[in-house]
Amino acid sequence: MNKEKTLDVLKSIQKGEITPEEALMSLCKEPFQDLGFAKLDHHRELRQGIAEVIYGEGKTAEQIVSIATAMIERGQKTVLITRLSAETAEIVTRTLPLNYHKLPRIGIIGEMPIPNGLGKIVVATGGTSDMPIAEEAAIVAEALGNEVVRLYDVGVAGLHRLLARLDDIMDARVIIAIAGMEGALASVIGGLADCPVIGVPTSIGYGASFHGLSALLTMLNSCASGVCVVNINNGFGAAYLASLINHQRR
């Protein structure tokens, strides 16, 4: 149950349309729905402001359809599915109106919300090879109600490319800096921006990059004080955190 529906229940009590006991029963039914193979957390949006998201990797198409259908039946307007393979997406599309984004492996069912954040989220990458993770972050952020500005292939090997977009950097409320190799982009942006910077190390790079570990350690050791870091290739986690920051009104 989201905040809007909870408020409707409370207003119904105020108007005398339902008793407090009936309202309590309605709310008690909501916390989670047991599908046998999954327990849907319908109260997550009420608690955290963001509804539950389906992690597609490892799930069958039938499981995804069942989970998504249950979400839609409970009134969720946008169902987000991450790490969804093209093969599974094709099967899901036979049952549900899935909009599939192949590069970041994201599926969306329902309408995209109108941006209602306080500012813009900038998603920047060191190179073109980081785009699958960047698009995961960008599309998730958009699905969570944010305006997103994409700055792709602006890594430190050609610093002038980043400096040419300094206006976008300074205008951002949150920046997601995505890079593999040595992962220096987060520190450079952190030294330019006056907003939080979320570093996302990627597994892009040659042998000594250790599948993203080198970029992860660089970002964790950043001397730019406003940089925080999520896990390797975790574009979703970065977008989720950025959205929370961009909607923080207190």
pLDDT of residue 57: 93
- Residue 96's pLDDT is what? 94
Assign 3-class secondary structure to 170-239. Answer: HHCCEEEEEECCCCCHHHHHHCCCCCCEEEEECCCCCHHHHHHHHHHHHHHCCCCCCEEECCCCCHHHHH
Q: Residues 6 or more apart from 38 whose CB is under 8 A from it?
A: 63, 66, 67
> What is the mean pLDDT for each group of 10 consecutive residues in the chain (250 residues)?
64 75 63 64 70 89 92 86 95 94 95 92 95 97 96 91 92 96 94 95 93 95 93 96 89
Q: Is 24 helix (H, G, I), strand (E, B) or coil?
A: helix
The CATH architecture that domain 32-110 belongs to is 2-Layer Sandwich (3.30)
Per-residue 3-state assignment (H helix, E strand, C coil) for 176-192: EEEECCCCCHHHHHHCC
Q: Is 120-246 a CATH 3.40.190.10 domain?
A: no
Question: With contact defined as beta carbons under 8 Å apart, do 75 and 5 qualify?
Answer: yes
Domain edges within the chain: 1-30, 32-110, 120-246
Helix (H) or strand (E) holding 12, with range, is helix 3-15
So what's the pLDDT on residue 14? 77
| pLDDT for 49 | 72
DSSP label at residue 147: E
Tell me what pLDDT residue 133 has: 97
**Are 121 and 245 a contacting pair, CB within 8 Å?**
no
Q: Which two tokens stand for residue 35?
A: 């599908």
Find out whether 155 and 183 touch, Cβ atoms under 8 Å: no
| pLDDT the model gives residue 7 | 66
**How far apart, in whole angstroms, are the C-alpha atoms of residue 66 and residue 165?**
44
Task: Check residue 3 and give its pLDDT.
Answer: 59
